[in-house]
């Protein structure tokens, strides 16, 4: 797709300095710019690149000061970074647009599809599924019985959505995501075997949720596993049965959340964090990468680090002491020897 400077400026409410009719067909980084592309500048460290860029259009902040001649057309906006992110989203949608329903897809006669829905090759849509307007489903997706998918959601290849789950508006599910597989529920028996506990609940994703590749979200034993609006989950995350994650919380890759834990709003959780089950994490909590959370964090806005996770400042001080542990032990042994010698 091609866009002119005047079209982009109108979209972003920006002002043009240069050729309003110049066209771009792709986006690029300012230090690796390409002809016929659009780039952006916000970090002063990259200011020098704007004077040699091959890009046709550069987004800059309103207060950017030009000190040399520039070959590219400038579009001045209130926030160049946010405006570039908006354009990235627009280009991404144009790349992912599919049209129509593949003849190679299998769709139950009892399923209902809204307008503008696209379905890729070898996708299977089960009985009584409800799919909203402008949902885009890539090839080789499985959607189980009684699933509801709301409008403008994007589902990439290989996603599996088990029965009765609910996916909200404007969600993105990346390749390999599994929604609604059984929770890890087994009752120990006298003979040391385990009796499987049926998992009869579902998973609910509210609107504007994004789930990274190969992340799994287990269905509840009873009730729902709930991912509230605006949550962003990275790749390779395990969310267990009956977990609830508050709105606008972000979680990095390889984190595991055990069953029935409740995580608050606006939390930030780093990669490879392990969280035990049946605890509560308050709103606005930050948990550093590699931490192990073994009890509730009830203080809003707390910053935690380490395994087991403790207050981040204390954890950093402890780490400094730990690095000196060998030296401290040697000093203790030396003092002990001197004390023992003085008593001989």
Residue 221 exposure: Cα atoms within 13 Å on the Cβ side: 10
Per-residue tokens: 76: 């001045």
- Tell me the pLDDT band of 10, cut-offs 50, 70 and 90: very high
Vertex 264 angle, CA 259 and 268, to 5°: 95
Task: Give the pairing of strands 124-125 and 106-107.
Answer: parallel
Compute CA distances 197 → 117, 185, 202, whole Å.
37, 5, 15
- SS3 of the chain: CCEEHHHHHHHHCCEEECCCCCEECEECCHHHCCCCEEEEECCHHHHHHHHCCCCCEEEEECCCCCCCCCCCEEEEECCHHHHHHHHHHHHHHHHHCCCCECCCCEECCCCEECCCCEECCCCEECCCCEECCCCEECCCCEECCCCEECCCCEECCCCEECCCCEECCCCEECCCCEEEECCCCEEECCCCCEEECCCCCEEEECCCCEECCCCEEECCCCCEEEECCCCEECCCCEECCCCEECCCCEECCCCEECCCCEECCCCEECCCCEECCCCEECCCCEECCCCEECCCECCCCCEEECCCCEEHHHHHHHHHHHHCHHHHHHHHHHHHHHHHHHCC
- Tell me the pLDDT band of 95, cut-offs 50, 70 and 90: low
Given a cut of 90, whether residue 319 has pLDDT beyond it is no
Per-residue tokens: 265: 């709003």
Catalytic: which of 136, 174, 228, 241?
Answer: 241
pLDDT at 96: 60
Mean pLDDT of the chain: 94
Whole-angstrom distance, CA of residue 30 vs CA of residue 4: 19
- CATH architecture designation of domain 3-96: 3-Layer(aba) Sandwich (3.40)
- Tell me the pLDDT band of 71, cut-offs 50, 70 and 90: very high
- Tell me the pLDDT band of 343, cut-offs 50, 70 and 90: confident
Domain ranges of the chain: 3-96, 106-316
Active site residue 241: yes
- Tell me the pLDDT band of 97, cut-offs 50, 70 and 90: low
Residue 60 exposure: Cα atoms within 13 Å on the Cβ side: 23
Residue 119 neighbours by CB distance under 10 Å: 26
Give the CATH H-level superfamily of domain 106-316. Answer: Hexapeptide repeat proteins (2.160.10.10)
Query: pTM for this structure?
Result: 0.81
Mean pLDDT of 154-163: 97
Is 106-316 in the same CATH topology as 3-96? Answer: no
Whole-angstrom distance, CA of residue 135 vs CA of residue 44: 40
Q: Which residue has the higher pLDDT, 31 or 213?
A: 213
Per-residue tokens: 342: 């003085």
23: preceding bond cis by omega (within 30 degrees) = no
């Amino acid at each position: 797709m091609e866009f002119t400077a005047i079209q982009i400026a109108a979209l972003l409410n920006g002002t043009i300095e240069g050729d309003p009719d110049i066209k771009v067909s792709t986006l690029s980084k300012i230090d690796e710019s390409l002809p016929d592309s659009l780039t952006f500048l916000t970090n002063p460290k990259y200011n020098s690149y704007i004077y040699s860029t091959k890009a046709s259009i550069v987004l800059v902040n309103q207060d950017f000061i030009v000190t040399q001649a520039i070959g590219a057309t400038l579009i001045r906006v209130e926030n160049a970074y946010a405006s570039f992110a908006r354009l990235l989203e627009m280009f991404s949608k144009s790349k992912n647009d599919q049209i129509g329903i593949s003849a190679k897809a299998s769709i139950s006669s009892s399923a209902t599809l809204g307008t503008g829905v696209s379905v890729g090759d070898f996708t299977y849509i089960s009985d009584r599924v409800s799919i909203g307007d402008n949902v885009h489903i890539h090839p080789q997706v499985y959607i189980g019985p009684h699933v509801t998918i709301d409008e403008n959601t994007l589902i990439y290849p290989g996603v599996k959505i088990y029965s009765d789950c609910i996916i909200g508006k404007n969600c993105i599910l990346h390749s390999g995501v599994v929604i609604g597989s059984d929770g890890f529920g087994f009752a120990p028996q006298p003979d040391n075997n385990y009796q499987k506990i049926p998992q009869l609940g579902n998973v609910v994703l509210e609107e504007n949720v994004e789930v990274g590749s190969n992340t799994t979200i287990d269905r509840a034993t009873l009730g729902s596993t709930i991912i509230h609006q605006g949550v962003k989950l990275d790749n390779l995350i395990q969310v267990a049965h009956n977990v609830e994650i508050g709105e606008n919380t972000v979680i990095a890759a390889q984190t595991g959340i055990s069953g029935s834990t409740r995580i608050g709003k606006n939390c930030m959780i780093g990669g490879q964090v392990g969280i035990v089950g049946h605890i509560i994490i308050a709103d606005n909590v930050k948990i550093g990468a590699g931490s192990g959370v073994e009890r509730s964090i009830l203080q809003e806005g707390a910053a935690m680090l380490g395994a087991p996770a403790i207050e981040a400042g204390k954890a950093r001080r402890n780490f400094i002491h730990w690095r000196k542990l060998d030296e401290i032990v040697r000093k203790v042994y030396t003092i002990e020897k001197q004390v023992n010698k003085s008593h001989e």
